[in-house]
Amino acid sequence: MTDFQASAGIQGRQFADQCDQLLVHDGFELRGRELRRTVGVEIDRVAKSPRGNLIWFEYKGSVQGSRPGLLRTDTLKKAIANGALLAAEGDRCPYVVLTSHLPESGSGAAMLHAALRLGYLTDVICIYSPSEAQRLRSM
């Protein structure tokens, strides 16, 4: 494994820990990972909200790199593809992507808005934005 890959793995785990801490702080009960075999998608975290709703979370982020979070279109496309596949599930839970960075313009922003409009993603939240992270409390 190259130094870049090792660093990316460490940063991914650190970001996942931050997401878990945010969810617990907001009153979510963490339930672990889940593989939806019918569509071949692994959900990073299943959690029960304070309102009693099960939510599927995908974590996409890091604190370093030139294009972290959903700024990389390949990372964004993977999240959208997972959401589209999960939309085929009959017992689908809300599917929320937690990220470190959101695309603000260009093709990434257009893809993200289309995925939300089509219902592939229930929400996309930048955990470092207090106004966005506050939306978790309404789930």
> Which CATH number among 1.10.1740.10, 3.30.70.260, 1.10.260.40, 3.40.91.80 corresponds to the domain 3-138?
3.40.91.80
Kindly indicate the confidence band of residue 24, based on its pLDDT and cuts at 50, 70 and 90: very high
Sign of CA dihedral 119, 38, 59, 109: negative
Whole-prediction pTM: 0.90
Kindly indicate the confidence band of residue 4, based on its pLDDT and cuts at 50, 70 and 90: very low
Averaged pLDDT of the chain: 90
Provide mean pLDDT across the span 82-96. 93
Contacts 24+ apart (CB under 8 A), 14-19: 14/62, 14/63, 15/59, 15/61, 15/62, 15/63, 15/100, 16/44, 16/45, 16/59, 18/127, 19/44, 19/45, 19/57, 19/59, 19/61, 19/98, 19/127
- pLDDT above 70 (res 9): no
- pLDDT at res. 137: 87
Describe the crossing of helices 106-118 and 73-86 by its angle, rounded to 10 degrees: 10
Are 47 and 57 contacting, i.e. CB atoms less than 8 angstroms apart?
A: yes
- pLDDT at res. 129: 92
- pLDDT above 50 (res 130): yes
Strands 54-60 and 41-48: antiparallel
